[in-house]
Amino acid sequence: MKNFTKVSDISSVPLMVQKALELKANPFAFSALGKNKTLGLIFMNPSLRTRLSSQKAAMNLGMNSMVMNIDKEGWSLELTDGAVMNGTTVEHIKDAAGAMSLYCDIIGIRCFPSLVNSKEDYSELVLSQFIKYSSVPIVSLESATRHPLQSFADMITIEEHKLQTKPKVVLTWAPHVKALPQAVANSFAEWAIASNYELVISHPEGYELSEEFTKGAQIEYNQQRALQGADFVYVKNWSSFRDYGKILTQDDSWLLTNNKLKVTSNAKIMHCLPVRRNVELSDEVLNSPNSLIMQQAENRIYSAQTMLKELLENSSILKL
């Protein structure tokens, strides 16, 4: 593994989940592994969990970390090769990534989509330019189309709470006041499918995710039918992929309640956070004993720590 940006960068989700659970049981077992190594965390967008859990993961491995909110603190980046930079951009990504590679042994980057142009967003231009021009491994801290460290943490959480080998996992759309990326939903779908879980995705018509991520999942437009017998219900809003970046409805009948959950198999409830309470998910569900939101947040440490450990152990790709 040279970089970690998607589920196909790892050989086996169950194997990685087991490695993460071993690290969770003994988080400081490899506290010398990262000695004199530096993790750079570059944010183009806000973050609470990703920022802090990645720093905590690095600390557990004995690594140093440096954080930069490049959108506020850095030069405006040019992404296009060969650009004549006589406009608003000040620094080419080639030079920025090249310099960062001199200061860091691993670089994490968060780069959200514009939600204006699907072709541009789904080409992952920012992430791929960072990979192209960096000489150290790149870890996605959420890109335009995926959030792999979140999905990995979600798989660790499901493993800890599942009562059967192949649980029924329902990913359900929820209303929101803002247009949000599809990244968490895309990523959760591809990790759940790679984990060989029964995945049902439920959303209003028009909110279909790109088939690139959902092949192998069942799509059910009736939320109540989707919830029947569910072991896990993952709640998330996303904007339309088909009518790219648009909010097609804010229908609050999609808001999950304890009453709706009666048809599930005492389902555990998941959300990646941040969540707009009583818009995207009700207080009564978020505060219920079946809610796993804090367990997911905790497992963000171990998803990041496992991936950093894998990259540190693959010393041929790190600077000496």
Beta-carbon contacts of 79 under 8 Å, excluding residues fewer than 6 positions away, are 93, 125, 126, 129
What is the number of helices (H) and of strands (E) in the chain?
Answer: 12, 11
Q: Backbone phi, then psi, for 165, in 5-degree steps?
A: -60, -45
Min dist CB 263 to ligand CP, Å, is 28
CB nearer to ligand CP: pick between 56 and 94? 56
Using CB under 6 A, which residues numbered 83 to 142 contact ligand CP? 142
With CB under 6 A as the contact rule, which of the stretches 15-23, 56-64, 270-278, 286-294 interacts with ligand CP? Answer: 270-278
Min dist CB 57 to ligand CP, Å, is 13
**Residues touching ligand CP, count (CB under 6 A):** 9
Q: Is the dihedral of CA 42, 46, 51, 52 positive or negative?
A: positive
Query: For residues 15 and 214, what is the distance between their CA atoms, to the nearest angstrom?
Result: 22
What's the gap between Cα 186 and its chain centre? 9
Name which position in 273, 275, 279, 317 contacts ligand CP (CB under 6 A).
273
Q: Is residue 48 part of the contact set for ligand CP (CB under 6 A)?
A: yes
Q: Is residue 47 part of the contact set for ligand CP (CB under 6 A)?
A: yes
Name which position in 17, 272, 286, 308 contacts ligand CP (CB under 6 A).
272
Burial tier of 71 (Cβ tally within 10 Å: 0-12, 13-18, 19+): middle
Q: In what order do the strands lie in the sheet with 268-270?
A: 218-219, 198-202, 168-173, 232-236, 268-270
Q: Is residue 299 part of the contact set for ligand CP (CB under 6 A)?
A: no
Q: By rule CB under 6 A, what string of x and - marks binding of each residue 140-159 to ligand CP?
A: --x-------x---------
Name which position in 7, 19, 37, 50 contacts ligand CP (CB under 6 A).
50
Q: Which residues bind ligand CP (CB under 6 A)?
A: 47-50, 142, 150, 272-274
